[in-house]
């Protein structure tokens, strides 16, 4: 009643109607769920009927079909219906059982602090449940004593009805560290860690919040193994990528004019700059590949009869390398393989489908000492401790990052200083940079290398830096000498884990989860299935209806 009056006084009509229309305790008995009643008192809420139905469904899924391969379920519930704030604490207190079940709540790393504070507040008072976080990273030094402490803490948590809060990265990291310890011949620690894993598979009941992201097919955790090595092909690899990207620049406008609805294109302000270009489907990419392959082959001194063979190998994934072995030197075959990966194996398509500063970019943090592109989680939000595993993807996205952002003053100064101090013929390199610009945009005083004076503040700030900031050749020069030789590395082996490892069939207890969408239900791990309540199958229609509301037809910006 107090909540209803509060909503009425403050003019919250929709909340008021929802509150008075809800009759408490219609589908559950407080005497049978004392912990839920205490939770209502602690949070000053009334648990709604649909929240009870969802909680019961996740506690004991009523599977109407015989599907032995997918005993774990995830379900959809609309945003704002209390999944994290209400249902998650309900599940935590109900599922935990002394000496039989230890509840482990798995949340996204970015939401970990918020969930930790929320669960501590709701469960740490009258319910007296401890929330203890479990974190694991590769740089943690696990030894026998540490493993014994972790094992003891888990056993205490099982006995006391505590709740573990962790993230998928931490769970998979612990799995990979176990393998890594054995690989390093640290068998005692590795055996102890494996014992903990088996114990967890026996006693832990997992609840996933935002299961669509946690179980997404693209999610992987990779540990590199072995010593760093230069990428295969070394300097030729990134120089080949630069030549292909120059052809993308050449044909991007042509492709965008043909496929206007399937591409995004914005002409650069300067002739030497790279255009803003993005592919949204596969069809324009096929046409782009054909143009690039033909141009690249024609620019090389290959025999006319060999050109169709090269083109077929570059553009056809089913063509065999054996047709090239006896006709071309090993260096040429290596170039063909690099370009084949970019074109027919769609490395370029992957790169040009991503959005700069949203899906990838350069981490500008002063505490981060790498200059190559890394994954982003959202606009200008860097994904911590991650990098692109495929070397060609990393190289292409690094080029695009600098093409779009341009070089800063320090980076440009590094290029000119190296040109002045270390190059034997700086004038020829500088002439190439100048020729790549529009002649009308170049002041007479800097058209020749002899006229460049790096100590002249006016010339440096008014002419050199603004003109060459987005010049592709200058950016390539910077990457070739200051970035790739130091950072373009690869490792001989990798340890890989994915969302499938979170839903192992060896577990004795089921996994349940929920999220606001069910878009990825066809791509879930084989041991997990989407199983929504009948009354919630209208969720997608509700979302579409909300999007189409008149208030969503306009927007404001700062």
DSSP string, 291-322: HHHHHHHHTS---TTTHHHHHHHHH-TT--TH
The answer to whether residue 523 scores a pLDDT higher than 70 is yes
The answer to whether residue 519 scores a pLDDT higher than 90 is no
Give the H/E segment covering residue 382.
strand 381-382
The answer to whether residue 229 scores a pLDDT higher than 80 is yes
Domain ranges, ordered by start, for the chain: 1-27, 33-222+504-538, 235-405, 407-469
Q: According to the model, what pLDDT value does residue 63 have?
A: 60
The answer to whether residue 64 scores a pLDDT higher than 60 is no
Lowest mean pLDDT of 23-32, 64-73, 414-423, name the range: 64-73
Lowest mean pLDDT of 219-228, 286-295, 421-430, 547-556, name the range: 547-556
The answer to whether residue 503 scores a pLDDT higher than 90 is no
Task: Report, as an integer, the average pLDDT of 19-25.
Answer: 77
The mean pLDDT value of the chain amounts to 90
CATH class belonging to 33-222+504-538: alpha beta
Band of pLDDT at residue 194, cut at 50, 70 and 90: very high
Helix/strand/coil (H/E/C) assignment for every residue in 205-239: EEEEECHHHHCCCCCEEEEEECCCEECCCCHHHHH
Structure tokens at 331: 């260096």
The answer to whether residue 70 scores a pLDDT higher than 80 is no
Q: According to the model, what pLDDT value does residue 543 have?
A: 78
Structure tokens at 273: 């700059």
Q: According to the model, what pLDDT value does residue 505 have?
A: 81
Give the H/E segment covering residue 196.
helix 187-203
Band of pLDDT at residue 153, cut at 50, 70 and 90: very high
Band of pLDDT at residue 9, cut at 50, 70 and 90: confident
Percentage of the chain lying above the pLDDT 70 cut: 98
Secondary structure (DSSP) of 124-171: SSTT---EEE----TT----HHHHHHHHHHHHHHHHHT-EEEE-HHHH
Report which of 483, 424, 417, 486 is spatially closest to residue 455, judged by C-alpha positions. Answer: 417
The answer to whether residue 62 scores a pLDDT higher than 80 is no
- Output the pTM of the full model: 0.83
Distances (CA, A) of 30 to 126, 304, 310: 16, 84, 75
Give the tens place of pLDDT for each residue, 169-182: 999 999 999 999 99
The answer to whether residue 244 scores a pLDDT higher than 80 is yes
Residue 445 DSSP symbol: G
Helix/strand/coil (H/E/C) assignment for every residue in 27-67: CCCCCCCHHHHHHHHHHCCCCCHHHHHHHHHHHCCCCCCCC
Give the tens place of pLDDT for each residue, 75-100: 998 887 888 999 999 999 999 887 88
Q: According to the model, what pLDDT value does residue 73 have?
A: 92
Q: According to the model, what pLDDT value does residue 550 have?
A: 84
Task: Report, as an integer, the average pLDDT of 1-11.
Answer: 75
Give the tens place of pLDDT for each residue, 346-371: 999 999 999 999 999 999 888 888 99
The answer to whether residue 21 scores a pLDDT higher than 80 is no
Q: According to the model, what pLDDT value does residue 322 have?
A: 84
- Rounded-to-integer distance, Cα 452 and Cα 436, Å: 17
Q: According to the model, what pLDDT value does residue 8 have?
A: 79
Percentage of the chain lying above the pLDDT 90 cut: 62
Indicate the pairing of strand 263-266 with strand 276-279: antiparallel
User: Is residue 12 classed as helix, strand or coil in its secondary structure?
Assistant: coil
User: For the stretch 190-219, what's the b/e string if a residue is b when 16 or more beta carbons lie within 10 angstroms of its beta carbon?
Assistant: bebbbebeeebeebbbbbbbbbbbbbbeeb
Structure tokens at 465: 């830096």
Report which of 361, 396, 405, 400 is spatially closest to residue 382, judged by C-alpha positions. Answer: 361
Task: Report, as an integer, the average pLDDT of 193-201.
Answer: 94
Report which of 427, 407, 428 is spatially closest to residue 480, judged by C-alpha positions. Answer: 407
């Amino acid at each position: 009643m107090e909540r209803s009056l509060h909503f009425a006084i403050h003019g919250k009509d929709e909340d008021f109607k929802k509150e008075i229309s809800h009759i408490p305790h219609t589908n559950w008995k407080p005497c049978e769920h004392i912990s839920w009643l205490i939770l209502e008192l602690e949070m000053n809420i009334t648990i709604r009927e649909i929240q009870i139905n969802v909680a019961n469904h996740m506690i004991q899924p009523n599977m109407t079909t015989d599907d032995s391969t997918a005993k774990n379920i995830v379900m959809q519930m609309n945003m704002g219906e209390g999944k994290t704030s209400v249902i998650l604490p309900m599940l935590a207190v109900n599922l935990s059982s002394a000496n039989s079940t230890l509840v482990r709540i798995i949340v996204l790393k970015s939401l970990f602090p918020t969930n930790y504070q929320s669960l501590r507040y709701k469960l740490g008072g009258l319910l007296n449940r401890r929330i203890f976080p479990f974190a694991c990273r590769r740089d943690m030094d696990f030894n026998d004593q540490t493993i014994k402490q972790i094992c003891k803490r888990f056993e205490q948590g099982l006995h006391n009805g505590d709740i573990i809060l962790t993230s998928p990265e931490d769970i998979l990291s612990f799995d990979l560290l176990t393998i890594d310890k054995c690989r390093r011949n640290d068998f005692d620690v590795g055996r102890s860690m494996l014992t903990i894993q088996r114990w967890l598979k026996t006693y832990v009941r997992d609840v996933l919040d935002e299961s669509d992201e946690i179980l997404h097919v693209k999610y992987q955790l990779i540990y590199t193994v072995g010593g760093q090595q230069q990428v295969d092909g070394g300097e030729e690899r990134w120089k080949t990528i630069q030549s292909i990207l120059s052809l993308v620049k050449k044909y991007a406008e042509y492709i965008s004019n043909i496929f206007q609805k399937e591409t995004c294109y914005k002409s650069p302000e300067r002739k030497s700059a790279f255009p803003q270009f993005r592919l949204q489907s596969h069809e324009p990419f096929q046409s782009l590949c054909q143009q690039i392959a033909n141009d690249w082959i024609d620019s090389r001194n290959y025999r006319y009869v060999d050109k169709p063979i090269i083109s077929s190998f570059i553009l056809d994934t089913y063509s065999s390398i054996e047709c090239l072995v006896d006709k071309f030197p090993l260096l040429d075959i290596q170039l063909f393989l690099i370009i084949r990966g970019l074109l027919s194996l769609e490395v370029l398509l992957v790169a040009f489908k991503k959005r700069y500063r949203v899906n990838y970019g350069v981490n500008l943090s002063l505490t981060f000492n790498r200059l190559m592109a890394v994954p982003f989680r959202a606009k200008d939000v860097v994904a911590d401790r991650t990098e692109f595993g495929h070397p060609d993807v990393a190289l292409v996205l690094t080029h695009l990052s600098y093409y779009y952002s341009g070089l800063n003053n320090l980076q440009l100064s590094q290029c000119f200083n190296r040109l002045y101090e270390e190059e034997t013929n700086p004038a020829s390199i500088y002439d190439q940079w100048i020729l790549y610009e529009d002649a009308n945009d170049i002041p007479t005083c800097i058209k020749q290398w002899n006229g460049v004076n790096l100590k002249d503040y006016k010339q440096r700030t008014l002419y050199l830096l603004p003109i060459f900031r987005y010049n592709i050749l200058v950016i390539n020069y910077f990457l070739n000498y200051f970035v790739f030789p130091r950072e373009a590395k690869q490792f001989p082996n990798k340890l890989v884990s994915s969302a499938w490892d979170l839903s192992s069939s060896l577990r004795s207890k089921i996994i349940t989860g929920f999220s606001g969408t069910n878009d990825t239900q066809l791509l879930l791990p084989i041991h997990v299935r989407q199983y929504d309540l009948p009354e919630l199958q209208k969720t997608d229609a509700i979302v579409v209806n909300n999007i189409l509301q008149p208030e969503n037809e306009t927007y404001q910006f700062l």
